[in-house]
Structure 1
Amino acid sequence: MSESKKAKVAIIGSGNIGTDLMIKVLRHSRHLEMGALAGIDPASDGLARAARMNVATTHGGVEGLMELPGFEDIRIVFDATSAKAHAENHARLAPLGKRLIDLTPAAIGPFVVPAVNLDEHIDAQNVNMVTCGGQATIPIVAAVSRVVPVAYAEIVASIASRSAGPGTRANIDEFTETTSHAIQSVGGAERGKAVIILNPAEPPLIMRDTVFCLVEAGDETTHERIRTSVAKMVGDVAAYVPGYRLKQAVQIDPLPGDQPVHTLLAPGSHAVPTHRVSVFLEVEGAAHYLPAYAGNLDIMTSAGLQVAERIAQREESQG
């Protein structure tokens, strides 16, 4: 595809996520063209790299972006700042007709996990990419819920402390709240809970995610259908996040009768779970800009890129 036909995009946020996303667009995008990278730190490595790659830059944030020559040609804006900043950026850019892909936990627009529900929200002006843990685990909850109702789903995302920058640390509360909500609204669980662990181990460990689902699944046929659904979903996610994989076989275990699992269920729930489905994942980054252990950041940029590619492809097909 010629550059003139590609959708021009901008990225707000010149930190790790924004810089990695820029490099992905420049090196691997079929339908997108980098228009600008905006930050607030004039000394950031991201802005320096963008300048070396002949990408327009500004350290004036969203205001600086809007003042850049060619801003009117930008169709899609990625926001890799913070939940608070995104609310302000949305207020400035949405009235101008820009499509927004939100990589913060702000959740102004609908939650989108590409392998699960992108088609439902492809025309939304602002889409939210949930969180790194959500992108890794919600597909698994959705895969299980496509076979049997999920009364309760709990996810544990363990990431290298070194891969958690200031933005991630400032949004820990938003991470748990946003991910828990999306486990229900996107994953299909009746109740959801999210936990994040910043692992200080050295050398840094790769991102690991654990998904627990409480379900009623008493026969082997249902167990096999769950395993098949999970395997297919892992393949769907790996199509745009190549380092996404199962760490071991899906485990489906009967719940002991003396465990008070009712304490985990939603208030008023009449579900009677009989089994726990346990899925263990790891996410290795592509190492375009970030180290390979930072799969938590790579899955966010890869998912955001997938959404933008599909938006641009759809706009192209519509003329």
Structure 2
Amino acid sequence: MRSSYLRCDYFIGRNQQSAGLDYAAKLGVRCDHRGIDKLVEHLDEVDVVFDASSAQAHVQHAQVLEGQGKLLINLTPADTGVWCVPTINSSTLRDVENLNMVTCGGQASLPIVHALRRTGQHLNYVEAVSSISARSAGAATRLNVNEYLCTTEKALKHFSGAPSVKSILNINPADPPVDMQTTVFALIDKPDMAELRHSVRVMLDQVRQYMPGYSLIMEPSLIDGKVVTMVRARGAGDYLPAYAGNLDIITSAAVRAAEDRCRN
């Protein structure tokens, strides 16, 4: 609703008692609870579909929407479509119909990984460890942990060029709830720390254009032979609490990807 390029025509869920549907309706958005069937009835009225259901449901939704001429943006960890990280490759995906926003951990870590790689230094190993509040991990998140890990690792390998990668997700039950934090570890031969730090700071500013709560906790540091960087993702605090930055960062990235398509 803040976007200068997009208008929300429908908010469609799968649960008639959804608090999210009630919230959207109060904002004046047309709502329905009948899922993909309702969307198909009104497909000629929309240009972009954001799918934030579940990995399993997205596979079906992608099949239904294939060839319909709509931009489908996948916010689930289903391994379909083309990986998209706005600060890395959004502008090169003008003809792709199914954009895969990887995962929340991917959107938090991949900009940093790209910042490390674009200095020209070879990455031998990359590990991304994300910690999120248990209160921000809903039913679909918990159901899709395996898909999350697999998809994040595939994207890490693709964007880093490293022969070996690892993704870890910690769901933290702490009260008060913790903000999302992601730590990136990288093995780099003879790292130029000044160059790496500059590249990460530039990337931080780029991500903050669509995710203002993305901040640097620890700039690239050499610890026990590994380059270590840590970032925090804190949400806008609209419908979701601000600590649910894991949900805000992938939503914000998806909106930016759609805006990039509209601008182009």
- Would the aligned equivalents of 1:142 and 1:188 in 2 still touch at CA under 8 Å? no
CA-CA distance at 1:288 after TM superposition:
1.5
**What amino acid is aligned across from residue 93 of structure 1 in structure 2?**
L
1:199 correspondence with 2:172: yes
Tell me, which stretches of 5 or more residues in structure 1 are unaligned? 1-25, 256-275, 315-319
1:250 Cα deviation after fit: 1.9
Q: Deviations over 1:184-206 (max 9, x none)?
A: 11233332110000000000011
Match status 1:36 vs 2:10: yes
The 1-side partners of 2:214 and 2:99 are apart by 22
Q: Which moves more between the two structures, 302-311 or 118-127?
A: 118-127
Please say if 1:87 is aligned against 2:59.
Answer: yes
Quickly say closer, same or farther: Cα 1:90–1:102, change in 2 above 3 A: same
Residue in 2 aligned with 1:99? 71
| CA-based RMSD | 1.2
Q: Confirm or deny: 8 A CA contact 2:91 2:261 kept in the other structure.
A: no
CA drift of 1:281 comes to 1.0
Is residue 2:28 matched to residue 1:58?
no
Alignment partners' CA distance in 2, 1:32 and 1:40: 23
Match of 2:125 in 1: 152
2:217–2:232 Cα contact (<8 Å) kept: yes
Aligned CA distance change for structure 1 residues 155 and 82 (closer, same or farther; 3 Å): same
Change (3 A) 1:187 1:119: farther
* Equivalence for 1:313: 263
Cα distance in 2 for partners of 1:151, 1:248 equals 21
Q: Which amino acid aligns with 1:225?
A: E
Q: CA offset at residue 37 of structure 1? A: 1.0
Matched, 1:303 2:232: no
CA–CA separation in structure 2 for the residues paired with 1:37 and 1:157: 29
Report what 1:216 is aligned to: 189
Q: Which moves more between the two structures, 151-160 or 54-63?
A: 54-63
**CA separation in 1, counterparts of 2:52 and 2:110?**
21
1:234 CA drift (Å): 1.1
Identify the range of structure 1 (238-247 vs 117-126) with the bigger mean alpha-carbon deviation.
117-126
Residue in structure 2 matched with residue 167 of structure 1 by the alignment = 140
TM-score (norm 1): 0.80
Q: Which residue of 2 aligns with 1:286?
A: 236
Does residue 209 of structure 2 align to residue 239 of structure 1? yes
* Contact 1:141/1:189 (8 A) holds in 2: no
- Give the conservation status (yes or no) of the 8 Å contact 1:117–1:186: no
Q: What is the Cα deviation at residue 38 of structure 1? A: 1.0
Map of 1:6-25 to 2, 5 A cutoff? none
Report the identity percentage: 41
* Aligned 8 A contact 2:193 2:221 in 1: no
Paired amino acid for 2:249: I
Question: TM-score under structure 2 normalisation?
Answer: 0.96
Query: Which stretches of structure 1, 4 residues or longer, exceed 4 Å deviation after superposition?
Result: none
Q: Is the 8 A contact 1:243 1:285 kept in 2?
A: yes
